[in-house]
Structure 1
Amino acid sequence: MLTIGQLAAYAGVTVRAVRHYHQIGLLPEPERDDSGYRRYGPTAVVSLVKIRTLANAGVPLSQIALMLQADASTFAEAVEKIDYHLRDEIERLQTSRKQIARLTAGDSVALPPEVDRYLDRLREIGASERMVQGERDGWILVAACWPDRFAEIMPSKFAQLEDPQLVRLYRLLSEIIDEADSVDDPRLAEAADLMAAMAEQADAAGELDYVGLAKDDPAIALLDAFPLEADPRSERMVELMRERGWTGWTRPERIAPPS
């Protein structure tokens, strides 16, 4: 007859695991002998090996007791269900590995691949890395607001990057962000001129709400608040845009003239 240490060694588990199985009622706990020690026979070894095998296969401990008592068909059905859950877990882990690989490469795990391509396009047109990182954080916010709308949003965003005015705006804002920290930077006025001109053109073409997102007022307010929190110069840009008759970042609106 075996001591608890010998039992654990035969079954390939730790003594601590055996005691845990006793505690949760998974492995029957034998009576102590005259010397005060618990002694285990061959049935305990067989049961513990089965428990170890099922546990190593990913079977939750809460289900092992039922499986040990199940007939062949019930056991097979339970194994099939466990296999299904394991496949789901494998897929989840594979997705996690891909996300870790993207993170290692410097990409954001919070964004879909098309946004990463858009950010690469910003770099190509001359946006600075600091500007791109700010855009990345903004897109994380967009993903939180409209997680299912990227298929509609991205084509329009890529098309906008063909506008020379927008290219100039990104380059100009990159210079401002990288080179200065003054709210009185005269280049802010040039940036406001570009933004106002593009708002005028979009308004004339009926494109201010290019994918029907502008009606989501709470999300629009959240997106508009983001640059104000990120950079104090954004407050000055808001003032300059108001001077030019416009308000709002995400949903530019013309300010009605005083009556």
Structure 2
Amino acid sequence: AIEITSEYIKEKSGVNVYINSEMPIGAGLGTSAAISVATLAAYSYTLGHELNLNEIAKLGHAVELSVQGIASPMDTTITTFGGIIWLMPNIGFEQLNPTIEMPFILGYVKREESTAKMVKKIKELREKNEKIIEMIMSSIGVIAEEGKLAILKGDLEKLGLLMNINHGLLESLGVSTKLLNDMVYASRSAGALGAKLTGAGGGGCIIALSPNKKREISLAIRLVGGIPMEIQLSKEGLKKHNP
């Protein structure tokens, strides 16, 4: 992050970076994007460069690409701008404003595989089964479009159903694990409208839509070996704190 930002602002300086986070690392929650965005923004600001949010998001994505080799701009865009976004590759993004509360619970288990390994796994699977994988990817795209409409309409039941279908497709790609599946199915049995893995898979987190059964779902996740975390969606993205 420091090197890429230094090249962009054409200035370089040694710095000490301190990171304080409550989120588990490598859990499919975009923590690497958050660290990248916060680091480059703080570094550039310290050197007197007020980068705009679009510049910060673009640089953050460049950092993710340099580390992982392949990365979507989704995490760095959300981290920078906050809220819920609809990402259109090579075009831009649209911020979505749900009409009702979006109540989610996360379930966390230790990551078994890195994002880079999971991306490589899907790439190899795609090379061997191109037509089938293309159909699955296309279906995931349709689900995302339907999910956008469900969010805008406030249709939580439809959103939950789409989450369940999406998880099934992700499982068919081989990115889920037994522990993730255990949390997904336990959440649904406890009353979640929908539950799916989040992130690249290989362990990490699931996300469950839980308007009325938060306590039951949290207990169900814990009983199968996961750590439940109740979350609230925030419209706030990158924020500057003066020491």
The two structures share one fold, judged by TM-score above 0.5: no
Higher relative contact order (CA closer than 8 Å, sequence separation 6+):
2
| Bigger helix fraction | 1
TM-score norm. by structure 2 comes to 0.31
Larger Cα Rg: Structure 1 or Structure 2?
1
Q: Which has the higher strand share?
A: 2
Q: What TM-score comes out, normalization by structure 1 length?
A: 0.30
